[in-house]
């Protein structure tokens, strides 16, 4: 395990900062209503790399940091990814000769507004956590049929919508949808009454492909990772999901954290997937450690009250890596694009306190949880704020993801009335 790198930005040298010099996550910020600029988090600051490129301090061969999104850097390829990271480390290192110049480009994080760090080309969501799939399957189909027969052979997924992916801090509106009536009653159109979260990680595809790619190549194509909350309307989903899978139940919003944590920063935290229960076909076989040891947690905070931790788990609980999901995604010849976002699927651990969705935590609403405020919850209530946290932790530093946060607003009046 590597140790913490020392920076001339003093707040980056704390054991508890999310953003030590080892991390250098990529985001997009503005000051007041100013233009969107590419920035990199370091300690309590964001460094304005768009300005440093304009004045020649960062030179990537051609301008890549001026568009207010990170897609051009991704598209430039892995040599440029490495070149930029090495340049940033040298500029921010404790012994940097450029210290005074770089300090002028630092903006306190408390003074910036964060935006979508990249343009999402397309969004695909998977279902690759075995504990989650087993729990949900047990609730929907009984314990004998919990895991579908294909589950141990392929990472199941569906094509979602890029248009509904939003950055942390965006408020979420409770949706209306078609819900099954009780017993044989006719379905009705009503506000969702079982609005839920899903704790996931999103992998960002940084290189395009045209045709099937191997698991090893898929891993090389991934640029970085974000926290991802796949907001889910369980009552809409339960009525609509057979036989083609989720649709409107997943279409309201998907929140992501504002900082892209690069694959390079996570490298010391790679770990193997769990033991295979059945042998995978050759094109999906593990090609090295491709999961990461990332601690994850979620808090739920009612309006005017303190937050309660409702779950704690780890990304290493996944059965399939994002690289395996990406390889599977291309196996039919499906082209991938720069900026494609792949959700892992809900990350649940073995026990009740490690489950990544309220559907599982409250067992379909039958076992509501009690918050620190004394209130109970089966699903998300109006004005609740849900926050995802994630960090890969070494002895003296952490690779933090920042927050992925959203507040649920009440449903509006019937949009069709």
Q: Which residues are catalytic?
A: 132
Binding mask 94-123 for Ca ion (x = CB under 5 A): ------------------------------
- E-strand spans in 315-397? 341-343, 369-370, 376-377, 385-393
Q: How far is the CB of 347 from Ca ion (least distance, A)?
A: 10
Contact call for residues 375 and 302 (beta carbons, < 8 A) = yes
CA gap 389, 18 in Å, rounded: 10
Q: How far is the CB of 4 from Ca ion (least distance, A)?
A: 34
CA gap 226, 399 in Å, rounded: 12
Nearer to Ca ion, 198 or 384 (CB): 198
Binding mask 230-269 for Ca ion (x = CB under 5 A): x---------------------------------------
Q: How far is the CB of 271 from Ca ion (least distance, A)?
A: 22
Binding mask 173-212 for Ca ion (x = CB under 5 A): -------------------------x--------------
Nearer to Ca ion, 73 or 199 (CB): 199
Nearest CA-CA partner of 170 in 414, 358, 415, 387: 387
Is 360 one of the binding residues for Ca ion (CB under 5 A)?
no
Contact call for residues 233 and 248 (beta carbons, < 8 A) = yes
**Tokens representing residue 205 in the block:** 């595809």
SS3 32: coil
Q: How far is the CB of 357 from Ca ion (least distance, A)?
A: 8
Distance between alpha carbon 380 and the CA centroid of its chain, in Å? Answer: 19
Is 125 one of the binding residues for Ca ion (CB under 5 A)?
yes
Q: Counting every residue, how long is the chain?
A: 417
Q: Which residue's Cβ has the minimum distance to Ca ion?
A: 230
- E-strand spans in 31-161? 37-42, 45-48, 106-108, 113-115, 123-126, 157-159
Q: How far is the CB of 345 from Ca ion (least distance, A)?
A: 5
Burial 381-402 (b: 16+ CB within 10 A, else e): beebbbbbbbbbebeebbbbbb
Q: Nearest 5°: CA angle at 24, between 169 and 31?
A: 45
Nearer to Ca ion, 18 or 198 (CB): 198
Nearer to Ca ion, 125 or 317 (CB): 125
State how beta strands 172-173 and 398-409 pair.
Answer: parallel
Q: How far is the CB of 132 from Ca ion (least distance, A)?
A: 9
Nearer to Ca ion, 198 or 405 (CB): 198
Nearer to Ca ion, 125 or 240 (CB): 125
Q: Give the count of alpha carbons within 13 A of 217, CB side only.
A: 15
CA gap 74, 71 in Å, rounded: 5
Give the binding range for Ca ion (CB under 5 A) out of 222-230, 268-276, 293-301, 351-359: 222-230
Q: How far is the CB of 416 from Ca ion (least distance, A)?
A: 27
**Tokens representing residue 201 in the block:** 């990680």
Nearer to Ca ion, 198 or 360 (CB): 198
The residues in 131-170 that bind Ca ion, with binding defined as CB under 5 A, are none
Residues near Ca ion, by CB under 5 A: 125, 198, 230
């Amino acid at each position: 395990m590597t140790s913490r790198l020392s920076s001339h930005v003093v707040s980056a040298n704390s054991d508890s900062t999310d953003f030590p010099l080892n991390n250098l996550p990529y985001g997009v910020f503005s000051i007041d209503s100013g233009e969107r600029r590419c920035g990199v988090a370091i300690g309590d600051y964001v460094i304005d790399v768009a300005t440093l490129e304009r004045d020649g301090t960062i030179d990537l061969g051609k301008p890549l940091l001026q568009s207010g999104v990170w897609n051009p850097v991704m598209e430039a390829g892995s040599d440029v990814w490495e070149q930029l990271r090495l340049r940033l480390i040298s500029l921010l290192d404790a012994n940097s000769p450029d210290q005074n110049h770089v300090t002028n480009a630092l903006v306190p994080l408390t003074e910036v507004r964060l935006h979508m760090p990249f343009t999402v080309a397309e969004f695909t969501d998977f279902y690759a956590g075995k504990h989650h799939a087993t729990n949900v399957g047990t609730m929907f189909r009984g314990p004998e049929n919990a895991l579908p027969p294909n589950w141990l052979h392929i990472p199941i997924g569906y094509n979602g919508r890029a248009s509904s992916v939003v950055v942390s801090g965006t408020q979420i509106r409770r949706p209306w949808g078609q819900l099954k009536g009780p017993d044989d009653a006719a379905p009705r159109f009503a506000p969702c009454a079982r609005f839920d979260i899903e704790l996931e990680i999103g992998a960002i595809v940084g290189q395009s492909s045209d045709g099937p790619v191997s698991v090893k190549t898929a891993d090389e194509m991934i640029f970085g990772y974000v926290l991802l909350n796949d907001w889910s309307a369980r009552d809409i989903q339960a009525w609509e999901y057979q036989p083609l899978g989720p649709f409107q139940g997943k279409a309201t919003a998907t929140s992501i954290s504002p900082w892209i944590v690069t694959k390079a920063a996570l490298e010391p935290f790679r770990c193997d997937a769990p033991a295979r229960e059945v042998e995978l076909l050759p094109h999906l076989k593990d090609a090295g450690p491709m999961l990461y040891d990332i601690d994850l947690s979620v808090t739920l905070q009612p309006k005017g009250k303190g937050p309660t931790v409702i779950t704690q788990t780890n990304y290493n609980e996944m059965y399939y890596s994002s690289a395996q999901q990406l390889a599977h995604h291309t196996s039919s010849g499906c082209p991938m694009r720069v900026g494609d976002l792949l959700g892992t699927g809900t990350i649940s651990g073995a026990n009740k306190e490690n489950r990544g969705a309220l559907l599982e935590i409250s067992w379909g609403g039958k076992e509501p949880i009690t918050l620190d405020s004394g209130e109970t919850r089966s699903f998300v209530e109006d004005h609740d704020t849900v926050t995802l946290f994630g960090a890969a932790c070494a002895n003296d530093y952490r690779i933090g993801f920042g927050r992925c946060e959203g507040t649920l607003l009440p449903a509006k009046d019937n949009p069709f009335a």
